[in-house]
Amino acid sequence: MSVIDDLKKHEGFRAKPYRCSEGFLTIGYGLNLDAGITRDEATMLLEHRVSVLQDVLAVRLSFWYRLTQARKDVLLNMAYNLGVAGLLGFKTTLRLVSEENYTEASKQMLKSKWAKQVGGRALWLSNKMREG
């Protein structure tokens, strides 16, 4: 048995944050969130989650493979921010993207509550969608 297996056994897994016996906010296999994480750890988590999102969107969006990488990146960015269900709620935008009407899709993106919430991010992503 490896040290990883031993730690998994002894720490146990919890998907949601909890307070350990010492009162520290903890998650996963005993990861102390109060201690924070490194930039490298945060990058590793981000890369993993984007990879999972890409796999999900490739299945959920029939037009995924026809998109340029820039347009995939826009949808990945939105899915990361909103969740897949949130992105799929952009029905008109996604229909326009599937029809390759990127100018109208970019305009639709800016008509959303999300655009008001994220401000410049939405404008930047809308331009990226239009320009491809």
Task: Write the CATH number for 91.
Answer: 1.10.530.40
Q: What DSSP state is assigned to residue 132?
A: -
Determine the structural domain holding residue 98 and report its residue range.
46-131
Same domain, 54 and 111: yes
Arithmetic mean of pLDDT, 88-116: 97
Same domain for 86 and 117, yes or no, is yes
Dump pLDDT digits (tens) for 90-101.
Answer: 999 999 999 999
- Which value, in Å, is the radius of gyration of the alpha carbons in the chain? 19
Residue 121 has pLDDT above 90, yes or no: yes
The full DSSP string for 27-65 is: EETTEEGGG---HHHHHHHHHHHHHHHHHHHHHH-TTGG
On whether both 73 and 126 belong to a single domain, the answer is yes
Percent helix, strand, coil in the chain, to 5, is 70, 10, 20
pLDDT for the residue numbered 59: 98
Q: Is residue 119 part of a domain?
A: yes
Same domain, 72 and 118: yes
- 40 is a domain residue: no
Number of domains into which the chain is organized: 2
Note the pLDDT of residue 68. 97
